[in-house]
Every structure is written in C-alpha cells, then in structure tokens.
Chains A and B, each alone.
Chain A
C-alpha cells in the first residue's frame, strides 16, 4: 500500500554510495521523506493498495513502474523514488501500463494514454482518452511468496514487479537476496469503497469485493480488514447497537464487531439494499434482486417477517431508500419504484422517464427521491410521479447518490460532486462512495480512497 501525504510527489533522498547500495536503500528501511521536491496546492490524502505492479519500463537511469497506486519512478542515479498521481495530471492512479516509445514515455491508465508535457520542471502529464489496455497475466513465476508480474533488467541487476508487494531489486539472481524498494505500509483493499458508516466509535468501510474494513474515526488509512464472512458489500446500516450489511453473499449483522450472523431470506441469493422507516423502528427493509423483505430486528433473533416478490414486476432490485413514509426501490427494469405500504408504483421509461435502469436511490426526506441511472444522469422524482433532471453533474454515468447532511452527493464515472462542491485531483474519476467524515469528505474511487479536508474541497 502506498500512502501519499499532502504533496504531489514524495521523494526520498539518500547519502552517496554505490548505485546498488543506493537503490536498495529505497526499501523499507529508508526514512520517510523529510524534503519535498515540489509542492503544489494541497490535494487529498489517498489511501490505495498500490502494491500491484502491472508493467516496468526503463528509460535511461529511470525505471518506471505502472501500479494500481500510481506511476512510480525509480531513479538509479539520484537514488530517488518518486510517485506520480492525479495531482501531476494523470487522470487516474490506476496505471495499467508504461512504455517508452522512441524515447518518449507513455503511460496507460484505465481510460487514457498520458505523456509528460514538454516542461520538464513541471513534471506534469497530459492525458488523452483511449480504450482500456489489457493487463499482463498475473500468473508469472512465484517470487517471494507472490507472483512476479514484470521484469526490467538494468546494469546493476533486475527490477522485479509483483502482484501484491510492489517492486523488488535483485542484484545477484538469488530471490532470497532481493530487496523490496517500496515502503511496506498498511494494507488497503484492492477494490473501491462502496459504503461507509460509523459504528461503535469506528468508521466501517464496505468495499466492492474486499469485505468490510474497520478504521479509526480520525485516520481512515489505519483501516484493517475485519475478515467478515462476505466480500461483496452493497449497503450498510446501523440501528442501535447493530450494524447490518447487505452483501451479494446475503444479509449479515453484528452486535459486537467480531461475530457475524447471517439472516436467512429464503430464496434470496444476495441482498442489495437496506433502509428503515422512522415509523417502524423495529423493522429493517432489505432488497434482494427479486424481492423486498421486511426483517424484524427488535427481537433477539433477527428474522424475515414479510416479503413482496417482484414488486411492480421487477426482477432486478439494486437499492432502497426511505423518504417520509415511503420507500423507494431502485431497479434495473422498473426504474424507481415507490412503495407506500400497500402499493408499488413504478417510475420508469413507461412512465415517461428517460430510462428504467436505476442503480441507486436517495430519499429527499420530503416524500420524493433522487434516482441515479446507469447512463442518463440523476432524476428527482416526486411522490406524485412528476420528475425533473438534476443539472450540472460531472457526467451522465452515475455510480451512486446519497444525502449527506442534507446535501445531495453524486458519484459519477467522471468525478464526484456534493451540491456545489467538487473534488479535484481524485485518484480516479470513477467515484462511488461519498461520505461526510467530520468536517471532511471520504470519496471511494475505483483506484483508491481520497480523503478531503474542508480546505481542499472546491465550491
């Protein structure tokens, strides 16, 4: 995992020595930087996995590594390790490839091809959109309990990229003598943060495919895998002393943060969303793909109480939210379905909306809801079925929608926005979770989690 603090670039300087010795001093024993090469405006703190090396390329004294935590440059001559991220112009720290063509460095990210601009002092990249590059096979030979994914041979030895543990340097051909060049820091999930809740004094992060992680409230980067019996989190909700998690593996809850109990919803393969109505404090509403469930949570044994199968005819429920006395269900085939306790009403393309494909929903608190669509933006749907489109979003492909302190927050494939606030230098434009944490914001993107303080959020 690579942790980037409030600067574009973290550089490490070393005492003179042989090139070989200097390179190895880039490893875990090296001190954290005390000198910053360049400082720009403050950007977010980024917490990303970073240990997966996709490609290596040599360019003179430089060895470049494409990783899932940015572009890393190892300078053999200056004995420096430099990390390039979104603040240096890369559109994403999800760097898929790096190559040197006719002496020019080209960096492939998830959605772009990037080149250094002509002004070498600025060390800034310019990116142009391209179709995603195929990754190298992660099944290279075993190397130091990991898989070797890339190699770059230099005069002094070989740089070896791995799937999980960054870049190593091998001088004499013996794997046991290899030295790790990247700081071995705390762990981070490979997949993005989808949801986050506060529970029993901690911040709990639900990820796309890596389960739930527990972090201290004031230092998200301290998060550790909670080793829950599920990996694919869709939603999280806290009620009293219980935290519920909706996952593709089912509905789970914990009361002590250590043991998890599965709630059996007969016939359901996975649970997609959670909500509660203020008027029913002992009931939890959960959606599976084809049903709405009412789960009794105010007794010792949590159990399914009632279910409604295929509400409004949907086969593909994605999320649920409450608004006043109503529930709103987001579905892929019936748009936004309103449930008033007795009737399901679909707000979909057949009703005149642009699409029936809703991916998320957030109640507006006054009986209506915001409908996040796959590729048609966000609609605000009122309780009577009238609707309007939310304007001014970074993009039309929507990942998430939520209300944070009364403010509408939207994660899109082109950035994140909370009301008028935008978030610059996201580690990746594909934003999902947007959570208010204290005075700041936590944005889960597809290439790492960004932590913004009040100071570095634009309005």
Chain B
C-alpha cells in the first residue's frame, strides 16, 4: 500500500473524527462535557494528521478571510486547495418573516488528479438545513433524513470505497458542511443546500442577511406576506423589483454596491408594529399548526421620569473567551457603564470556575465608580472553565434591597451545567430580571433562553463576536422598562396545545416574540395576546381558521423543531427516556430535522452493496411509515377542485419498485420518481360526471423487499358556485361594497361594466364577509361582482348604483 493511499485512509479516519461529530441543529445543544471532549480529540487528531503528512506538506498558504461557501479539496498526495467557485445561485423565498433559501454552487477541479474535499457553507444565525444534494456527473444524489445511528453505519460502510456518501452536518451557528468524494479530474462539481430560518422584526424593517461568495452570484428573491408589503430595499446591492400584487413582490439582485460584502435586504410590511399576526398550516386529517408573532415599536419619547436600575454585569472570562470574544465583550461592558445615569447603580462580576465580584453590591454611579468598574474590566483576561450557575447565584444574591429594579446582564460564550443553573433560577424568588447575551457559536442557547424567560428578561444571541458592539444598543434598550409585562397567549374558540415557548417573557421596545403550537377547531378562532402596558391591560387579537387545509409547511417544521428542543431539554433535566427519544426521532424523520438522533445522509444508489441496500431500504421504510401517519405523505396540488388535472405527489422511497394510485372513479395510475422534486408524482383527470363530494385516492407502494405500504389522500369535488349576497352603498366618489358568502372564498372582485379595467379586489373581513370600495365617476353604474370559491367556481351579481 503506497504512502499516498495510506495517508488518504488516515485522513479519512481522522476527518471522520474531526468533522463528523454528532450533528447538531441550531437550536438543540450537545451536552457541554461531550463538546469539550470532542474539541480536545479534534485538536489531537489534527496534530496527528499534520505529523503523518510531514513529507507531503507544502508551505501553508497565507490565511484568507473565511468564505461563505467553499470546497476545500486535496489529492491523495497533495496540499489542500480551495477549488474555484464557477457559479453561485441563491434562490430566496421570503414568506412573511420566514426565509427559505436554496444555495447551488458549482466548483471546478482544474487539476488532473482525483480529489476529495469538504464543502462548507455559512448561511447565518438561526439557519437550519432542510435538505442537501450533490451531483456525481449527471446523477443527483439527494440527502434524506434517517436515524443517526443507522445513517452512521451506512456512512461508515460506504466511505473509503469508490464514491462516498454525503453526511450533512451543522458545524456552527448557521454553518454546514459535508464531505465530497470523488471530484474527478476536470469535473465541475455541483452541490446544493436548502436552508430555513425565521427572521425578526424589531420595531422596524425585517432584515434578511445572506453571505454571498461570488460578486456575480445569481440571486432571486420571492417575497410574499398577507399583511402587504410596503417596501424592500438593500444597502448592499441594487435590486430590480416587480410588484405582482400588494402581497407578493419579486426581486432580482443586480450589482453589488461598493464596499458591500453580504447581501442585506430590508423589507417593511404593512400594519402597525404592535399587531398580532397569526398563520396556520394544516395537513388534511391532522390538527393544525399555528404561529403567532407580535412586535413592539421602538421606545417612544416619554416625559415620565426614568427610575434608575441596579445593574449587575456578569462577564464570562473563561478560557474560550480569549481573543476577539474577550475584547468585544469588554468593549460592550464599558459601553454599558458609559450609558448608565446618575440614578443607576452598577456592579461587575467576572466568572470562570471562580466567581470574582468587584463589589458586594451595586454602587450608585459616580465618575469614580465608573472608573473603578472600567479599570476592573480592563484587568480581565480569559482563563478557566464556565460556571454559569454559580455566577448567577452570586449575582442574584448580591442585589440591594431597595426600590430600584434589579437588572442582571449576563455575557457568556460557553456552555455549563444546565440543570444547576435552572435550579438557581427556580429557587430565586426575587424580582430581579436576568438578561442573557450569548456570544459566538458555542453557546447553549436553550439554557440561556430559558434562564431569561424564567427571570422576566430576554435572551440575545450574537453569533459574530465582531458584531457585539453594534448589537449592544439593542440589548441596552431592553434595560429600560418593558413595553408589555405579564404576557399571555390564548385562543377564543379553541384550545391551544403544546405551545413553544411555554413561558412568555416580558416584551421590550423594538422587540418581537414568536410562538408555535397546535390547535384543532371547527372554524375560525381568535388568537389573543394579553398583557399590561405600564399596568394598563392591553389585548391584541388575530383571526385564523384551523379547520381549513392551508399550506405553510415552515410553520409545521418550526413547531416540530421547537418540540424536539423541548424534548431534549426534558431529557437533559431528567435523563434520556425511550418515549422522549422516540418522539424526537419521529419528529426528526417526519419533518426532516437534523437533531442529535437524526442525520441527513445522501447515498449514491450505485455504490450500495447488499447489506447497505437492506439497511437503507429499512431506514426508508421506517421513515415512510412515519410520514404516512404523521403528515400528508401524499399531497394533491389542489384539494378542492372541480374536474381538472391536479398533480399527485407522494413521498416514498426512491428505490420503491412501484407506486400506484387508485382513483375512486375507476382508473389506476403508476407514479414516476422525479429527481428534481424528489417525490413520486403523476397527474390525473377527474371525469366531468363525478358528483360533488369527498373522495379518497389510495396509494400503494411496493418496496424492494416485497413489502407493500399504503397511504391515501383526500380531495373534494366541488362544482357548485357559492351563494352570495351583495350590498352596495353609493358614496361621494364611488361605492362601498359588502359581499357575504355561504362558504370560504378564494377572492371577491368587482368591476364597472362600462369600464372593466376599473376593477378592485375586496378585502376579507372574516366570517364570510368581504368589503371594499370602488372609485366611480358621477352617474349610473352597473357593477359586476364575481366571487370565486376555493375550487374556482364563480358566482356573479350585478348591482346598480348612482353616484351623485
């Protein structure tokens, strides 16, 4: 065996330990001890790798700035190279405050050598992966979610043979990677990653930020929001915007502005900031998922004298805070001290595995106190471990017994013993508010978020240590009086179930909360958020209809992700149990989540041997069974339809022998697997004579092992136009219309018969009522009102109005 091949095998083994640690989603944390141990092993492995390649190492290249996307490759005997990125394409879908993006990159192997490499992609804070794929020549290899252990076994069995499978991992906050082999000489290697994240609106526009590698990247944006779009701008790129409707805009990204790096989009939605917005997703036959979000305006100017706070700054000085993290945290702490006024008091507590307060209690702010505090901060250096629980306990015990609000601001980058910290917060009965700020990518976000919730504060996450100073004004604004306290969410007309987060903290100026939950109802319900604004009860409501089949799958996925996080938290507190673990696995498989128990694996079918085929087949069958029971494994492109040709898509294993749909009106049809949509699909015609009613299409899936599974999808034939009632009231410059329907409508439109280009779409006021106004000149007008129901059946009324 030649040295080169030996080195490749060694690299592969060590690479596994370096990069193929248990996959972590952005909201689920690995146990802190395990993570530190893994980092240590990784460092040792890296040292060994470099030692074994001593004869092959060429002088290191100058350190380059980190790129958003890259494919670092090397030959069996050769140094690592960054493969040139030939093209970059980013397709972004912004649905309200949710962003789904597909990144497609093509790299070129310019050498004559066969390479292997690691593809990495930095998306941004809060992003999770929803899929990935790569190409071997023309063949697309698509990632699927499987149970982690089974996926690992298949991965290990196939790695190091001819063509490696791909195992997608989250390597940091919003960062992903997977191993790629082979990259043939001269090959253009195409890879693709799909991501999802929720954006926030803090008093102003919603910001979307994406790392872009190529200046000529092809970027297309699709923005849709039922509230209506006010504007979309970009400080980083020129945009070409097409407004197809008030709620749906489309933008193509053109040239990059000088000095810009990332793509930054700012878009504003209609509606007051302090309006509750709720959205529903419902799969047929399942309880609905909902999300509700509420944003507060910026701090208004106030004439009320501000009461001073007793502020305790708790600074993490553990070893991992070394370098830029410590510099930024110290700068931010100094900025806070500068902002405090004469009515405030301040204390500083530094901690690692020792707790070292500056004073025993906060001291009233004077010039000397400021100087002493800043001098103390300047002396801090990074060392030791992280004992959040002890630091929190000390901070809570060090408060003054006076009338001033006690505010504890926790800055940390690391993880610690969660249960102990939670116990400290639970046992504390004081009114102190705890604000936690997590810095960097190693933060236990779940723990810090929970601590802040329990102590009526707010968790802020700053992924980029260099952004600490710029993000801190927002954190500072939260030290003011909350905008709304005692926040509670409930529904009128239904019971909300499994709502996450389960506890809602206070809301501050320029703040936003978002919850996810499940609900079952027979018709429209009101989601209600209540609280107190400086002691005065306030109430905000939004109407949703969980009884209708509505597609917003990102809502279902986000709920599932929150549920998995809750399960993980439970297991951290109480230990792993089969029930909780199985539910986490089931959710991970059903909603394609990367969790500590599920992984994304892409397997080249041609490389599978008998054993791995059996293993993968079994994994797919299990996922298929879960899909069939959990959500719409089969979906129709239209659920309510008159006769037409809807498309039927079924999620079934790619290597299923046959997928057949059996229709109630007498035909059967084979489905075909489509590589691009990664689903089995066909379309069918509903005969014109089929009576109205509910029907079921049975789908039979024959697996390679001979097993047969079944699922079904329901649809409704509706060929009846809705009954409508129209009231038209003439006004000064037009007519006000009110249309009442006996069923849900797709849209209600009105046109002037004399000039049919003068037409308006009426607004849905809820409860089957649509209202609006049409502008008309003086004189007599015949108005045609057309109502289309969900199945596009149309009803029409002509009303006469006289405009004076």
Q: Known contacts being A208-B683, A374-B644, is A397 close to B688, with CB within 8 Å?
A: yes
Enumerate chain B residues within 8 angstroms of A190, measured Cβ to Cβ. 669-670
Enumerate chain B residues within 8 angstroms of A229, measured Cβ to Cβ. 675
> How many chain-A residues does the 8 Å CB contact rule pick out?
55
With most chain B CB atoms within 10 A of its CB, the pick from A137, A209, A446 is: A209
Contact residue among B244, B666, B756 (Cβ-Cβ distance under 8 Å from A132): B666
| In the bound complex, CA of A249 to CA of B761 (Å) | 32
Report yes or no: A266 in contact with B220, Cβ–Cβ below 8 A: yes
| Residues of chain A in range 247-303 having any CB-CB distance to chain B below 8 Å | 248-250, 262, 264, 266-267, 269-270, 290-291
Q: Is A372 an interface residue (CB 8 A)?
A: no
Contact residue among A230, A345, A352, A375 (Cβ-Cβ distance under 8 Å from B688): A375
Q: Is A67 an interface residue (CB 8 A)?
A: no
| Residues of chain B in range 673-703 having any CB-CB distance to chain A below 8 Å | 674-677, 681-685, 687-691, 700, 702
Q: Is A131 an interface residue (CB 8 A)?
A: yes
Report yes or no: B691 in contact with A131, Cβ–Cβ below 8 A: yes
Stretch of B194-202, B231-239, B256-264, B746-754 at the chain-chain interface = B746-754
Q: Using an 8 Å CB-CB cutoff, how does the interface string of B735-762 with A read, 1 for contact, 0 for none?
A: 0000000000011011101001101010
| In the bound complex, CA of A204 to CA of B688 (Å) | 29
Enumerate chain A residues within 8 angstroms of B242, measured Cβ to Cβ. 307-309
Report yes or no: A231 in contact with B682, Cβ–Cβ below 8 A: yes
Stretch of B43-51, B153-161, B486-494, B657-665 at the chain-chain interface = B657-665
| In the bound complex, CA of A129 to CA of B688 (Å) | 12
| In the bound complex, CA of A35 to CA of B607 (Å) | 55
Q: Known contacts being A248-B683, A249-B674, is A374 close to B642, with CB within 8 Å?
A: yes
Residue of A nearest to B663 (CB): A135
Q: Is A138 an interface residue (CB 8 A)?
A: yes
With most chain B CB atoms within 10 A of its CB, the pick from A129, A351, A385 is: A351
Q: Known contacts being A332-B792, A349-B786, is A135 close to B682, with CB within 8 Å?
A: no
Report yes or no: A249 in contact with B677, Cβ–Cβ below 8 A: yes
Q: Is A115 an interface residue (CB 8 A)?
A: no
Enumerate chain B residues within 8 angstroms of A269, measured Cβ to Cβ. 677
Q: How far is the CB of A267 from chain B (nearest CB, A)?
A: 5
Q: How far is the CB of B375 from chain A (nearest CB, A)?
A: 56
Enumerate chain B residues within 8 angstroms of A135, measured Cβ to Cβ. 662-663, 666-668
Q: Known contacts being A231-B674, A267-B93, is A307 close to B708, with CB within 8 Å?
A: no
Q: How far is the CB of A143 from chain B (nearest CB, A)?
A: 14
Report yes or no: A139 in contact with B248, Cβ–Cβ below 8 A: no
Q: Is A133 an interface residue (CB 8 A)?
A: yes
Enumerate chain B residues within 8 angstroms of A308, measured Cβ to Cβ. 242, 244
Q: Is B222 an interface residue (CB 8 A)?
A: yes
Enumerate chain A residues within 8 angstroms of B663, measured Cβ to Cβ. 135
Report yes or no: A310 in contact with B794, Cβ–Cβ below 8 A: no
Q: Using an 8 Å CB-CB cutoff, how does the interface string of A331-344 with B read, 1 for contact, 0 for none?
A: 01100000000000
> How many chain-B residues does the 8 Å CB contact rule pick out?
59
Q: How far is the CB of B252 from chain A (nearest CB, A)?
A: 8
Report yes or no: A267 in contact with B222, Cβ–Cβ below 8 A: yes
Report yes or no: B687 in contact with A138, Cβ–Cβ below 8 A: no
Enumerate chain A residues within 8 angstroms of B552, measured Cβ to Cβ. none
Enumerate chain A residues within 8 angstroms of B222, measured Cβ to Cβ. 266-267, 309
| Residues of chain A in range 338-392 having any CB-CB distance to chain B below 8 Å | 345, 348-352, 355-357, 374-375, 385
Q: Known contacts being A307-B250, A350-B756, A351-B751, is A313 close to B666, with CB within 8 Å?
A: no
Q: How far is the CB of B764 from chain A (nearest CB, A)?
A: 15
Q: Using an 8 Å CB-CB cutoff, how does the interface string of A157-192 with B read, 1 for contact, 0 for none?
A: 000000000000000000000000000000000110
Q: Using an 8 Å CB-CB cutoff, how does the interface string of A207-240 with B read, 1 for contact, 0 for none?
A: 0110000000000000000000111100000000
| In the bound complex, CA of A310 to CA of B250 (Å) | 10
| In the bound complex, CA of A345 to CA of B250 (Å) | 20
Report yes or no: A232 in contact with B683, Cβ–Cβ below 8 A: yes
Report yes or no: B786 in contact with A356, Cβ–Cβ below 8 A: yes
| In the bound complex, CA of A139 to CA of B250 (Å) | 46
Enumerate chain A residues within 8 angstroms of B643, measured Cβ to Cβ. 374, 397
Contact residue among A110, A262, A375 (Cβ-Cβ distance under 8 Å from B666): A110
| Residues of chain B in range 751-804 having any CB-CB distance to chain A below 8 Å | 751, 753, 756-757, 759, 761, 784, 786, 788, 792, 794, 796
Q: Is A102 an interface residue (CB 8 A)?
A: no
Q: Is B245 an interface residue (CB 8 A)?
A: yes
Q: Is A45 an interface residue (CB 8 A)?
A: no
| In the bound complex, CA of A375 to CA of B667 (Å) | 22
Q: Is B542 an interface residue (CB 8 A)?
A: no
Q: Is B342 an interface residue (CB 8 A)?
A: no
Residue of A nearest to B243 (CB): A309
Q: Is B27 an interface residue (CB 8 A)?
A: no
| In the bound complex, CA of A374 to CA of B676 (Å) | 30
Report yes or no: B682 in contact with A267, Cβ–Cβ below 8 A: no
| In the bound complex, CA of A231 to CA of B648 (Å) | 13
Report yes or no: A110 in contact with B647, Cβ–Cβ below 8 A: no
Q: Known contacts being A350-B756, A374-B642, is A134 close to B664, with CB within 8 Å?
A: yes
| In the bound complex, CA of A270 to CA of B750 (Å) | 31
Q: Is A111 an interface residue (CB 8 A)?
A: yes
Report yes or no: B788 in contact with A249, Cβ–Cβ below 8 A: no
Residue of A nearest to B93 (CB): A267
Report yes or no: A111 in contact with B689, Cβ–Cβ below 8 A: yes
Residue of A nearest to B685 (CB): A446
Q: Is A326 an interface residue (CB 8 A)?
A: no
Q: Known contacts being A139-B708, A209-B682, A248-B681, is A350 close to B792, with CB within 8 Å?
A: no
Q: Is A413 an interface residue (CB 8 A)?
A: yes
Enumerate chain B residues within 8 angstroms of A313, measured Cβ to Cβ. 244-245, 761
Q: Is A96 an interface residue (CB 8 A)?
A: yes
| In the bound complex, CA of A115 to CA of B683 (Å) | 32
Contact residue among A131, A250, A309, A375 (Cβ-Cβ distance under 8 Å from B676): A250
Residue of B nearest to A345 (CB): B757
Report yes or no: A209 in contact with B683, Cβ–Cβ below 8 A: yes
Q: Known contacts being A266-B220, A349-B794, is A139 close to B660, with CB within 8 Å?
A: yes
Q: Is B89 an interface residue (CB 8 A)?
A: yes
Enumerate chain B residues within 8 angstroms of A208, measured Cβ to Cβ. 645, 683, 685
Enumerate chain A residues within 8 angstroms of B792, measured Cβ to Cβ. 316, 332-333, 356-357
Contact residue among A139, A270, A350, A357 (Cβ-Cβ distance under 8 Å from B784): A350
Report yes or no: B796 in contact with A349, Cβ–Cβ below 8 A: yes
Enumerate chain B residues within 8 angstroms of A352, measured Cβ to Cβ. 753, 756, 784
Enumerate chain B residues within 8 angstroms of A413, measured Cβ to Cβ. 688
Residue of A nearest to B670 (CB): A190
Enumerate chain B residues within 8 angstroms of A231, measured Cβ to Cβ. 672, 674, 681-682
Known pairs A248-B683, A267-B93; list 8 more (Cβ under 8 Å): A137-B662, A138-B668, A190-B670, A232-B683, A267-B222, A310-B248, A352-B753, A385-B756
**When A and B form their complex, which 6 residue pairs have the shortest distance between CB atoms, in order from nearest?**
A309-B244, A310-B244, A266-B220, A132-B666, A351-B756, A350-B751
A-B contact pairs, 12 of them (CB 8 A): A137-B668, A190-B669, A208-B683, A209-B684, A229-B675, A232-B682, A264-B89, A313-B761, A350-B749, A356-B786, A357-B794, A413-B688
